[in-house]
Structure 1
Amino acid sequence: SQGWRTVPRVFDVPLTPVLAAVCGRDGSGVRAAADRLGWAAAETDWRALVARDDVDLVDICTPGDSHAEIAVAALDAGKHVLCEKPLANTVEEAEAMLAAAERARERGQVAMVGFNYRRVPALTLARDIVAEGRLGTLRHVRLSYLQDWLVDPGFPLTWRLRKDRAGSGALGDLGAHIVDLAQFLTGEAIAGVSALTETFVRERPLLEGVSSGLSSDLSSGPTAAGDVGTGQVTVDDAAVFTARFPSGALATFEATRFAAGRKNALRLELNGSDGSLSFDLERLNELSFHDHTEPAASAGFRRILVTEPGHPYLEAWWPPGHALGYEHTFVHQARDLLHAIATGTAPEPSFADGLAVQRVLAAVEESAEKNAVYTPVAT
């Protein structure tokens, strides 16, 4: 909501977004949200929102199990669509969404996936540096996304911990971001993976009023007075995997919600024959760059403060040295999508990009299910 409200006040955009309607399941809650966030109207049925004549663009921010149904319906109804990541819960759903997007494209509509970290100026700059060939031939790509909000075993069984709602756990929630960034930064599609996943806490307390919504194999009855029982966690808590790119570059990925002390630590490093790049989301205005073609006596990693007017997206913001934050990525996303709609160009990341990420996530899950473990043997 802040992104849509802010974008025309900061950037020179060809279209001015009007916050026509917001949708949520709880009537009083969504009306309060509409008042607080600046939406003109509130709906409690997404179908009613999609049918509104004053809605031209649908921004899907729901759990993954409803992405496909809403996106296909909105596209078939003639709307543009922005859908949060990951695109869907399954490859089959993502394929159906892409097919709907391709039909809509013939009518002049656009569809985009909300991988907002592409819009961090430092990461867009990193992509430009790689595309210019300044790293030479890529050798290694390392990405990790570490959080700690599930370390407490008493944390309740929310929708993100249920496969039927979320599709997967840390893999889809966090891993989708770093898979997309790896392919965005390198300009290559991942060619193969080998993976391990683990669920560290397999049962969690149910939220009040949730147990009736779970299937019998997910919930157990109350165990004490006032206790609503526990339910099974049906997604991964952590995923680690290696990958290979067609160019021969190797990659490592780690996604976990069990890294105590790490709040939103998305970190990456790219090593090439001519240089290296590194980035940490918790210092999102900085990019580290090493030019390996410089003389060894003076070469080394240097800190680039990505706040100059010539850096991506920075022409509209503050004087150099004045930092941006997480929320600005959504303003940048809105800017790019508005330009795509106005010019009729295909936005990025597209639904095809979202499907490519979904296929990697599915390959990781399949590899983790089948992966053989070899025990070192003394000779």
Structure 2
Amino acid sequence: MKKLRIGMIGYKFMGKAHSNAYRALPMFFPHATKPEMAVICGRNQEALELAASQFGWAETETDWKTLISRDDIDIIDINAPSNAHKEIALAAAKAGKHIFCEKPLALTLSDAREMLQAAEEAGIKHMTGFNYRFSPAVQLVKKLIDSGRLGGIYHFRAWFLQDWILDPDFPLVWRLQKDIAGSGSHGDLGAHLIDLAHYLVGELDEVIGMSETFVKERPIAEEMTGLSAKGSKSAPKDKVTVDDATLFMTRFKNGALGSFEATRFAAGHRSTNSFEINGSLGSVRFDFERMNELEVYFTSDDEDVQGFRRVLATDPAHAYSEAWWPPGHTIGFEHTFIHEMLEFTSAIAEDRQPEPNFHDGVKCQIVLEAVERSIQERRWMKISEL
């Protein structure tokens, strides 16, 4: 198959992660379809030129509509802020381009459903960026559950804790503005937990939640990149319009119980993305800050040696590991994106939909909005109501 020529819209935090993945993919997975980093797109020409040179893109473009109209582009990679996802995705689908779109898929459920419908009608391949699925240790959890080795699942509890906006004088970045981001910790961090729950345990039946915005106003940012920003304490302030923390409980359709916590106000937690699953035959614990490790407990172990054991998911027995380093030599955050792009390019070559795709993005958006409705109406919310 010919190379897949990529046009990428966005060039900051996720743009760098995606670029690294495209560059590394053919080196470590030589049988994969090779992505060609054709065009990188953004609004700031000077910053764009710098990113193209640093990341390895052949051309730059400041108008995403011009990029999408090109006949020599096969894939549109969308990692611009959330408020841009829908318009770009609809145009890309109409132009017959395959689409990779970062999460959350859209600002609203209705927008997400419109994006899915457009992609399905166009017959293109579409993928949503839930990269944490692609950690070898998470793949091992999936294997343990699907094979029945954990038995029936009773509990899924998950938490994603950060502290990067703990300072009340941290500037008002776009992730703290609802009209751009859609929601705060809930949509940014909680979306990953929801997708992991769907992937590992199954669909949710009902939810009840609560949220809080601890710092109501912040200085307007002078400059922002990724999760960092520059500003002045004396700068004019504007309102924070998203949640700083959201917690919710759920009952899964299979009867399991779940709890979720997403916050940017957990001092000492730079990026603690963790979950624990309890089944009738055992339990697992995962913490992405130690992403190569999985803690596993089986009730069938002899009584005198029972307890959680540490599994280092770097042996060839674990997903993707044979492509990397000798056993015990760990991988990192950036590798989840390489595995993600392997799935995307392989799906295009094999003429199938990749996973997770826009269907998964919509399923996640349903839960996000159900939790928000639950908070507003102060009641249990059935997922089927949406």
TM-score by length of 2: 0.90
More strand by share: 2
1:164 and 1:336 map into 2 onto residues whose CA distance is: 32
For structure 2, the 5+ residue unaligned runs are 1-18, 225-231, 381-386
Q: Are 1:204 and 2:222 matched, yes or no?
A: no
2:114 and 2:379 map into 1 onto residues whose CA distance is: 33
Q: Are 1:140 and 2:158 matched, yes or no?
A: no
In the alignment of these two chains, the number of paired residues is 355
1:372 and 1:147 map into 2 onto residues whose CA distance is: 27
Instruction: Select which of 42, 47, 50 maps to 1:29.
Output: 47
Instruction: Select which of 83, 93, 108 maps to 1:75.
Output: 93
Instruction: Select which of 251, 257, 261 maps to 2:264.
Output: 257
2:284 and 2:119 map into 1 onto residues whose CA distance is: 35
Q: Are 1:332 and 2:332 matched, yes or no?
A: no
Q: Report how far residue 12 of structure 1 moved.
A: 2.8
**Percent same amino acid among aligned pairs?**
49
Q: Are 1:13 and 2:20 matched, yes or no?
A: no
For structure 1, the 5+ residue unaligned runs are 211-223, 374-379
Instruction: Select which of 158, 161, 176 maps to 2:176.
Output: 161
Instruction: Select which of 245, 253, 268 maps to 2:252.
Output: 245
Q: Are 1:308 and 2:308 matched, yes or no?
A: no
SS at match of 2:35: coil
Q: Report how far residue 201 of structure 1 moved.
A: 0.1
1:13 and 1:74 map into 2 onto residues whose CA distance is: 27
Please name the residue that 1:217 is paired with. Answer: none
Please name the residue that 2:75 is paired with. Answer: 57
Q: Report how far residue 300 of structure 1 moved.
A: 1.4
Please name the residue that 2:206 is paired with. Answer: 192
SS at match of 1:148: coil
Please name the residue that 1:2 is paired with. Answer: 20
Q: Report how far residue 310 of structure 1 moved.
A: 1.9
RMSD: 1.5
Code of the residue aligned with 1:282 in structure 2: it is E
Please name the residue that 1:92 is paired with. Answer: 110
Please name the residue that 1:101 is paired with. Answer: 119
Q: Report how far residue 138 of structure 1 moved.
A: 0.7
* Deviation by residue 1:136-184 (Cα, 9 ceiling, x = unmatched): 1111100000000010000001100000000000000100000000111
**Which stretch shows the higher mean deviation, 291-300 or 314-323?**
291-300
Instruction: Select which of 170, 173, 178 maps to 2:185.
Output: 170
SS at match of 1:287: strand
Code of the residue aligned with 1:280 in structure 2: it is D
2:270 and 2:234 map into 1 onto residues whose CA distance is: 30
SS at match of 1:19: strand
* Deviation by residue 1:16-63 (Cα, 9 ceiling, x = unmatched): 111000011101110111011000001111111111222110110011
SS at match of 1:276: strand
SS at match of 2:305: coil
SS at match of 2:255: coil
1:315 and 1:306 map into 2 onto residues whose CA distance is: 11
Instruction: Select which of 361, 365, 375 maps to 1:358.
Output: 365
Kindly tell me: are residues 11 and 288 of structure 1, through their superposed partners in 2, closer, same or farther at Cα, counting changes over 3 Å?
A: same
Kindly tell me: are residues 193 and 12 of structure 1, through their superposed partners in 2, closer, same or farther at Cα, counting changes over 3 Å?
A: same
Instruction: Select which of 287, 290, 301 maps to 1:283.
Output: 290
1:45 and 1:82 map into 2 onto residues whose CA distance is: 18
Please name the residue that 1:218 is paired with. Answer: none
SS at match of 1:297: helix
1:372 and 1:355 map into 2 onto residues whose CA distance is: 22
**Which stretch shows the higher mean deviation, 233-242 or 46-55?**
46-55
Is the Cα contact below 8 Å between 1:240 and 1:254 reproduced in 2?
yes
TM-score by length of 1: 0.91
Please name the residue that 2:384 is paired with. Answer: none
Please name the residue that 1:377 is paired with. Answer: none
Please name the residue that 1:130 is paired with. Answer: 145
2:235 and 2:47 map into 1 onto residues whose CA distance is: 24
Is the Cα contact below 8 Å between 1:13 and 1:338 reproduced in 2?
no
SS at match of 2:49: helix
Q: Report how far residue 372 of structure 1 moved.
A: 6.3
1:14 and 1:207 map into 2 onto residues whose CA distance is: 42
Q: Are 1:321 and 2:328 matched, yes or no?
A: yes
Code of the residue aligned with 2:37 in structure 1: it is L
Q: Report how far residue 237 of structure 1 moved.
A: 0.2
Code of the residue aligned with 1:202 in structure 2: it is K
SS at match of 1:330: helix
Is the Cα contact below 8 Å between 1:13 and 1:335 reproduced in 2?
no
* Deviation by residue 1:250-297 (Cα, 9 ceiling, x = unmatched): 000000000001001011000011000100010000001111122322
Please name the residue that 1:369 is paired with. Answer: 376
2:249 and 2:379 map into 1 onto residues whose CA distance is: 15
Q: Are 1:43 and 2:43 matched, yes or no?
A: no
Is the Cα contact below 8 Å between 2:25 and 2:32 reproduced in 1?
no
1:282 and 1:227 map into 2 onto residues whose CA distance is: 35
Is the Cα contact below 8 Å between 1:55 and 1:79 reproduced in 2?
yes
Task: Compare CA radii of gyration and give the structure with the larger one.
Answer: 1
1:291 and 1:297 map into 2 onto residues whose CA distance is: 13
1:340 and 1:204 map into 2 onto residues whose CA distance is: 44
Instruction: Select which of 98, 101, 114 maps to 2:129.
Output: 114
